[in-house]
Amino acid sequence: MAFSFRQVRYFIAVADAAKISSAAADLNVSQSAVTAAIKALEDELEARLFERHPSGVTLTYEGHQFLQHARSIEATVSEATRALRRTGSAETGEVRVGLTYTVAAYFLPQILARFTRAFPGITVHMQELAREDIESGLMNGNLDIAVMLVSNLQNSLSIDSEILVRSRRRLWACADHHLVARETVSLAEIAAEPYVMLTVDEADDTAMRYWRKTPHLPKVIFETSSVEAVRSMVATGMGVSILSDMVYRPWSLEGQRIEVRPVSDEVPSMDVGLGWRRDSNLSAPARVFYEYLSLTYGGSGHGFVNAKP
């Protein structure tokens, strides 16, 4: 069984709130991220955990059974984290962390705040860099570790990585777009529409890799490095786009609704994770930083199998 601790946390939050929207607000994540996590958990368990109804959700019999186990899992992980804090809270020093734009904007801030509270003696120096500069910094020793889109990693022979979160990519369209009426949408259907292409963090290169595996290409009307620009253009009906759930928000800055739909063709997920130079002799603060993020997102905390003690 391969469900993650993040899915367990989301499940408990929904069970407690009895509404996916309320749970998402409590977790400070998108509603679509919670929905996707619950669906993946139900698929993994091969059981329906919630009954959906207009006013919210209620636990099924199987859901009630799993909730007891989920709370036990949460308690065990909390104890493991407390143990890590007891051994690491006195740790002092610095860790140099490279971040890509998407990670800095949409993923790391909250967990970094929790880390600094748990380990006040460790100073985290962050640098937002392009993927190639992060890889170079890890190799030349200017960076200790990176939180990056590991799905974009190029130098996998010299840089090890661990995935923390897989964020699926879906179609974005305005609320009254004709494709929103479909449960799923194909790339062939999307190719017929004006397309807004995001370029930041190599998003355009990633998109073209999966588009080129089909007979179709997107009809790009505008390219931008701004997620907010994509959001606004999609919301006003200027075009559609395919982006990850991690950066999805249901409203544009102008207050217009954005809908999402699954893509029926194969579209890779956007994978956020940790990267470090293979055979690194990691400092103690860097190791604590790695273990904290790895354990928080359901990893083993032992990914540095080649690191020297």
The span from the CA of 22 to the CA of 130, in Å, is: 35
Q: Mean pLDDT for the chain?
A: 88
Give pLDDT, residue 306: 40
Give pLDDT, residue 231: 96
Length of the chain: 309
Most confident of 7-11, 70-74, 167-171, 212-216: 212-216
Please list the alpha-helical segments (H only) found in the chain: 5-17, 20-27, 31-45, 61-88, 101-106, 108-118, 131-140, 187-191, 203-211, 227-235, 284-296
Domains along the chain with CATH numbers: 5-84 (1.10.10.10), 91-166+271-296 (3.40.190.10), 169-268 (3.40.190.10)
Q: Above 50 in pLDDT, residue 305?
A: no
Q: Above 70 in pLDDT, residue 150?
A: yes
Give pLDDT, residue 28: 80
- The H or E element that residue 127 is part of is strand 122-128
Q: Above 60 in pLDDT, residue 119?
A: yes
The span from the CA of 127 to the CA of 140, in Å, is: 15
The span from the CA of 116 to the CA of 9, in Å, is: 21
The span from the CA of 297 to the CA of 4, in Å, is: 7
**161, 277 contact by CB (below 8 A):** no
Confidence of residue 299 (pLDDT cuts 50, 70, 90): low
* Burial of 138: CB neighbours in 10 Å, binned 0-12, 13-18, 19+: buried
Most confident of 17-21, 51-55, 78-82, 297-301: 17-21
Least confident of 135-144, 168-177, 193-202, 278-287: 278-287
Closest CA to 145 of 78, 86, 95: 95
Global pTM value = 0.73
Q: Above 90 in pLDDT, residue 142?
A: yes
Confidence of residue 276 (pLDDT cuts 50, 70, 90): very high
* Burial of 139: CB neighbours in 10 Å, binned 0-12, 13-18, 19+: middle
Amino acid at residue number 217: L
The span from the CA of 51 to the CA of 245, in Å, is: 23
The span from the CA of 80 to the CA of 61, in Å, is: 29
